Structure 1
Amino acid sequence: MVAALVAAVCFGVASVLQAKGARAAEPGSGSGVDTRLLARALAQRVYIAGLGLDAVGFAMELVALRALPIYAVGAALAASLAVTAVAASRLLHVTLQRVEWGAVGTVCGGLALLGLASGGEGHGHGTSALRWATLLAAGGVLLVGLAAGRLPGRARAAVLGLGAGLGFGVVEVSVRIIDSVTSPALYALLLGGGSAFLLLTSALSKGSVTTATAGMVIGETIGPALVGVLALDDRTRPGWAPVAVVGFVLAVVGALVLARFGEGGADGPPGPDGPDGATAGSPVTSGR
């Protein structure tokens, strides 16, 4: 659980650094799957710093996935949204409201309950059909990106974030079921992770960091948790299932509440008073 929380901190700060790098790069085509935008963002040092944190976070996530059920790791990673909100308030100069601090506490409380209730990882290794399904799901992430690129404003950021979360969710499941170098799950991991980065970079380049991260949290939490319980025998400690459910729900609800948090550069080009005419340094909450 400590490894999972370290991963959440790394991912949360990385999202803000990558948003700064993507916005500093020359604008891309606007597509949800924009390889040129990613290439330009990679020329920004702050974006590279974010990728470095992602690498550390991914290593910690692997440690956690080898010892905990997927649902526990996924809910712990939901804390990355709380970290993103706090980091955005420092790096993008926005003030957190009382409700956002309450949401941060809710996420942390849910994670504490999950930590108490979670058992060891399940001993299921998945079927051949599940391995092929992860590869199909990884390909579907690109389709989500192509469709989401046509959406306006916050809807675009949220759906691209959701698609990125689905890609990272494929990675979580694939790590558990890879059984050889020719396994479809290995290719699913590579395709899902690469596609997720493409979508997330596009989401962060124009949309709200927290809106995109909230979509990502939902995508990488719920689906993989269900796969872990239904197909990989993930379980709680005996008699602690209700506590685990409450903890999981609290973590996800806290993450969703934080999705209302808005930061500078949320949507559209900055004006004299910030994006969408909002005063610089204040939350952008309209339409949330």
Structure 2
Amino acid sequence: MLIGLLTAVAASACYGTGSVLQAVGSRKSARREAAAASTTGLTQHGGPSLSSTAKAAVTWEFLVGTVLDFIGFGLGALAARLLPLFLSQTVISANLVITAVLSIKLLGIRLNAREWVSIGVVCTALVLLATAAGPEGGGDASTATHWWLLVASVLVIGGGTLIVRLLGSRAAILAGLLSGLGFGALGVGVRVLNGIDPFHLPTLLADPALYAILVAGVGGMYLHTVALQIGSVNGATAALVVGETVVPGILGVLWLGDSSRPGFAWMAILGFVVAVAGAVAVAWFGEPEGGAEGTGTAPDDGSSAPVHAAGAAKATEDDTRAPDRAAAGS
């Protein structure tokens, strides 16, 4: 249990740091597109084009953040094998808190009292969860279930990407939810993956869950990048947290046999609900009104953009030119 918790915390730290760097890279790309008055950076619906997203992905900040994400993915995969999903996914989602704290040092952001309270709530909830968590379930599932996971991942990522592109600049919340569902499916896939223990390559390659992991991971990363480009809106981050924690947590209990310690079910449920609510609050209260209060900016050299405490970058409306944004950040 201790090794699993330490692994999940390390994964959370990697994801939190990577989120800041990816947000800065995404905003740098968006500002360049806006400064060049580019029409190729937007779809006809006002959302970022594939070429715009690709440009964001090759900034050095985004590349470093992506490397940290891959490290976080490996650590998170290990945590998902060692802990109940309702605990591992919740600890990993606490990267919002790590991002908020890192933003004070790296981005000059000053957190308000509500943000500090929200961070304290999340930390308290994680203590409750760690205290209540019992042994993880076996993770055994039928082959048909693995196929259903792959089908669901394709539908969520494929269909969701199409809808996000059609909605354009109004899709930040939906993109956040879909990316969270993708990361949640990834966690479930890692948990049920065959051919890992003991390692057997033919079994691994024949498991549909492996391809569900690839689809959900790559698709979730893409939709997360789109959400950062569209704008930092509190609804998007809240949706990401819910998708990444609630869905796999419930599946872990109902499907994989995850459980709490005897007599501690109430504490596990309380900790889970409070952790999700606290993470959403970090995102919600971290959204500055009017793009001023609560943000910090890097040196005025055009190389980066403001990032709010929830960990997603927020450029001003003149910089991003993204109308009708709803509120969120991861």
TM-score range, shorter chain: 0.7 to 0.9
Match of 2:192 in 1: 177
- Contact 2:236 2:327 (8 Å CA) reproduced: no
Matches within 5 A, 1:184-199: 184-199=208-223
- Contact 1:82 1:104 (8 Å CA) reproduced: yes
* Secondary structure class of the residue paired with 1:198: helix
Residues 240 and 92 of structure 1, relative CA distance in 2, 3 Å threshold: same
- Contact 1:68 1:120 (8 Å CA) reproduced: yes
Match of 1:141 in 2: 157
Distance 1:95 1:131 in 2: 45
Distance 2:184 2:327 in 1: 30
Residue 287 of structure 1: CA displacement? 10
* Structure-1-length-normalised TM-score: 0.87
Comparing 85-94 with 167-176, which one deviates more in the overlay? Answer: 85-94
Distance 1:161 1:106 in 2: 22
Paired amino acid for 1:237: R
Match of 1:69 among 52, 72, 84: 84
* Secondary structure class of the residue paired with 1:259: helix
Match of 2:263 among 216, 219, 239: 239
RMSD (CA atoms): 2.7
Distance 1:87 1:137 in 2: 35
Distance 2:280 2:231 in 1: 16
Distance 1:170 1:207 in 2: 25
Superposed CA deviations along residues 97-117 of structure 1, whole A, max 9, x for unmatched, are 101110001111111111111
* Secondary structure class of the residue paired with 1:226: helix
Please say if 1:29 is aligned against 2:42: yes
Matches within 5 A, 1:254-273: 254-260=278-284, 261-262=286-287, 263=295, 264=306, 266=314, 269-270=317-318
Residues 163 and 33 of structure 1, relative CA distance in 2, 3 Å threshold: farther
Residues 258 and 275 of structure 1, relative CA distance in 2, 3 Å threshold: farther
Comparing 166-175 with 89-98, which one deviates more in the overlay? Answer: 89-98
* Structure-2-length-normalised TM-score: 0.76
Superposed CA deviations along residues 52-75 of structure 1, whole A, max 9, x for unmatched, are 111221121122112101110111
List gaps (5 residues or longer) in structure 1: 277-284
Match of 1:165 in 2: 180
Residues 63 and 286 of structure 1, relative CA distance in 2, 3 Å threshold: closer
Identity percentage of aligned residues: 37
Please say if 1:228 is aligned against 2:243: no
Match of 1:217 among 208, 226, 241: 241
Distance 2:101 2:259 in 1: 32
Paired amino acid for 2:22: Q
Distance 1:224 1:33 in 2: 29
Please say if 1:84 is aligned against 2:99: yes
Superposed CA deviations along residues 201-254 of structure 1, whole A, max 9, x for unmatched, are 111123117654332211111111111111111111111111111111111010
Residue 174 of structure 1: CA displacement? 0.5
* Secondary structure class of the residue paired with 1:121: coil
* Secondary structure class of the residue paired with 2:171: helix
List gaps (5 residues or longer) in structure 2: 34-40, 195-202, 288-294, 296-305, 307-312
